[in-house]
Copies of this chain bind each other. A is one copy, B any other.
Amino acid sequence: MPSSPITEPTVGDIRAAADRIRGAVPQTPLLTSPALDERLGGRILIKPECLQRTGSFKIRGAYNFISQLDPAARRAGIVAYSSGNHAQGVAAAAALLNTDATIVMPADAPAIKLANTKSYGASVITYDRYSENREEIAAGFARERGAVLVPPYDHPWTIAGQGTAGLELMSQAKAIGAELDAVLICCGGGGLTAGMAIAIKAARPETEIYAVEPAGFDDTIRSLATGERCRVKPGQTSVCDALLGPIPGELTFPINQRLLAGGVTVTDDQALAAMAYAFSTLKLVVEPGGAVALAAVLSTRFDCLGKTVAIVLSGGNVDPSLLCATLTGASAP
């Protein structure tokens, strides 16, 4: 394992990550939609991480992490566990850095995520989401092969990599003269939220940052309320497969606790409606978990009236069958 100290990354670490990933990880644009602005009565800036290489922001952290491993560690290969977007980010980053990657994925992950992960050259080990422990499987594999585990969110290198999306956002907002009142970020384990929050607050301390979570998986929001890391209650399900982490990270939560103004939950129906809106009006392909920040503003769970608000669309790896069922009003497969 890399011997980095487990401490919170600084905005300096995020800037170093931005230098490290440049060339391999493209910047995503900052988009506007007059139709969305008119509907919500605010100025909405869209950070479409669905357009990122591998279809989500995850390659930012994965590339920043793997590129800091020493040559011996890279030769030993890396391992990761993920429902799909981290899997693809790690697989693609490992391929770019000539490192063997093995990814532990739930057998019921979206087909597109399984197929894409393999297409980047990674080996995939599937497990049963309900009866097996992915951390244990990955840790066992890491021990056995001497492979380094690439943490999906709870590591300063991962967080710093995801934070580059926040640096870009603030620089792009500044370039168009937008002063952000709020930023809404899709939140699973909290790595993207924490990384972006550090970058956003460094640039503009008065900008309020909100985590957006699916109903039932509002572990970060409940943790913010209670001041302690709360676990997702057993038996929950959500269509937002990218956001089903069981508990906020040990490292991400204190960052989010310090920097976030609060959180917003959205229902599956609201996430699916936002995915359909992104398709029909924004012309962007967004997966349900990637659409929750959009769902928060469209549903007015978060009120944008008179405000300048940035929303992150964190990923676009949706199976066509789910999107098409949603668009045509059929029941989801």
Contact = CB atoms under 8 A, between A and B. Distances in A.
A195 B26 CA distance: 29
Given A279-B320, A320-B279, A324-B328, A35 B53 contact: yes
Given A51-B282, A320-B327, A31 B34 contact: no
Contact of A279 (B24, B51, B285): B285
Nearest to A59: B34
A321 B33 CA distance: 24
Contacts of A31: 26, 29, 51
A61 interface: no
**How many copies of this protein are present in the complex?**
2
From DSSP, what is the main secondary structure of chain A's interface residues?
helix
Given A26-B32, A34-B26, A50 B327 contact: no
Interface size range of chain A in the complex: 20 to 34
A289 B87 CA distance: 34
Contact of A285 (B33, B34, B283, B324): B283
A280 interface: yes
A26 B284 CA distance: 16
A279 B320 CA distance: 9
Nearest to A313: B283
Contact of A284 (B32, B35, B283, B327): B283
Interface string A52-81: 010100000000000000000000000000
A210 to B, nearest CB: 24
A316 interface: yes
A332 B94 CA distance: 39
A16 interface: no
Contact of A34 (B34, B53, B279): B53
Contacts of A280: 112, 285, 320
A324 B320 contact: yes
Nearest to A279: B285
A240 to B, nearest CB: 17
Contacts of A50: 283
A328 to B, nearest CB: 6
A118 to B, nearest CB: 15
16 contacts: A24-B34, A26-B34, A29-B29, A29-B31, A31-B51, A34-B53, A48-B283, A51-B283, A112-B280, A279-B285, A284-B285, A285-B285, A320-B324, A320-B328, A321-B328, A324-B327
Given A51-B283, A279-B320, 13 more contacts: A26-B31, A29-B29, A29-B31, A31-B51, A33-B53, A35-B53, A48-B283, A279-B285, A283-B316, A285-B285, A320-B324, A320-B328, A323-B324
